[in-house]
Amino acid sequence: MGKLVYGMSTSLDGYVNRADGSIDWTAPDEETHRFVNDLESRIGTYLFGRRLFETMRVWDDDEALAGLPGYALEYAPIWRSVDKVVFSRTLAALNVPRTRVERRLDIDDVRRLKESSAADLAVGGPTLAAEMLRAGLVDELTLFIVPVVVGAGTRFLPDQLNLDLSLVEERRFDSGTVFLRYAIRR
């Protein structure tokens, strides 16, 4: 059975984006990007909300990636090799390899997917992750805390959520970004 991991870059004050939705402050440096590439190479399935999927699908577009440094380009084959499930009521059917759209989140289906997976799964997007956290499906939290305070936006964790956590891993990068990985105790 794979673990379900929820992780994103967050500001020091706990937001994944600014109030206007921008995420420009989350761009990783080379050291951090290489670490992310290693982490993501362990994932077998991504579970995304529509907005984050639309942001991430740039990794399917060779023209859009032209000019990126080699360490960033190393992520493209990782992205392309992972199965993706996008939860959206509005997104049209996709003609993207290894990607399917689900019109609604069925917690029991996600539980079965997790139980049958040999590799870990990653949930992306705070709205979708909140539902999976509340359902008790998420096993680990991974945070890249970027040294910036944005003051408002979308929170990494939802309100009124209680979790008992155990620190599993930590790492500080030269950029000042700090990586934290927590196991959720049941």
For residues 25 and 97, which has the higher predicted lDDT (pLDDT)? Answer: 25
* β-strand partners of 140: 5, 183
3-state secondary structure of 40: helix
- Which residues constitute the domain of residue 53? 4-185
C-alpha to C-alpha distance for 76 and 133, rounded to whole angstroms: 28
φ and ψ of 9, to 5 deg: -80, 140
Determine the average pLDDT of the residues in 93-112: 92
Tell me the pLDDT band of 92, cut-offs 50, 70 and 90: confident
Instruction: Give one word for 92, left, alpha or beta, with left for phi > 0 and alpha for psi -120 to 50.
Output: beta
Amino acid letter, 94: L
pTM assigned to the model:
0.93
Nearest Cα neighbor of 153 from 51, 30, 48, 47 is 51
Q: Is the pLDDT of residue 94 over 90?
A: no
Q: Is the pLDDT of residue 93 over 80?
A: no
Q: Is the pLDDT of residue 21 over 80?
A: yes
Burial class (CB in 10 A: 0-12, 13-18, 19+), 175: middle
Tell me: the pLDDT tens digits for 124-175? 999 999 999 999 999 999 999 999 999 999 999 999 999 999 999 999 999 9
Determine the average pLDDT of the residues in 110-126: 96
Q: How many domains does the chain have?
A: 1
Nearest Cα neighbor of 32 from 9, 61, 64, 62 is 9
C-alpha to C-alpha distance for 45 and 89, rounded to whole angstroms: 20
The lowest-confidence range among 15-19, 57-61, 178-182 is 57-61
Residue 154: which CATH number?
Answer: 3.40.430.10
Handedness of CA 154, 137, 179, 13 (dihedral sign): positive
C-alpha to C-alpha distance for 37 and 171, rounded to whole angstroms: 15
| 179 and 165 Cβ atoms separated by less than 8 Å | no
3-state secondary structure of 152: coil
The confidence score (pLDDT) of residue 185 equals: 96
Tell me the pLDDT band of 114, cut-offs 50, 70 and 90: very high
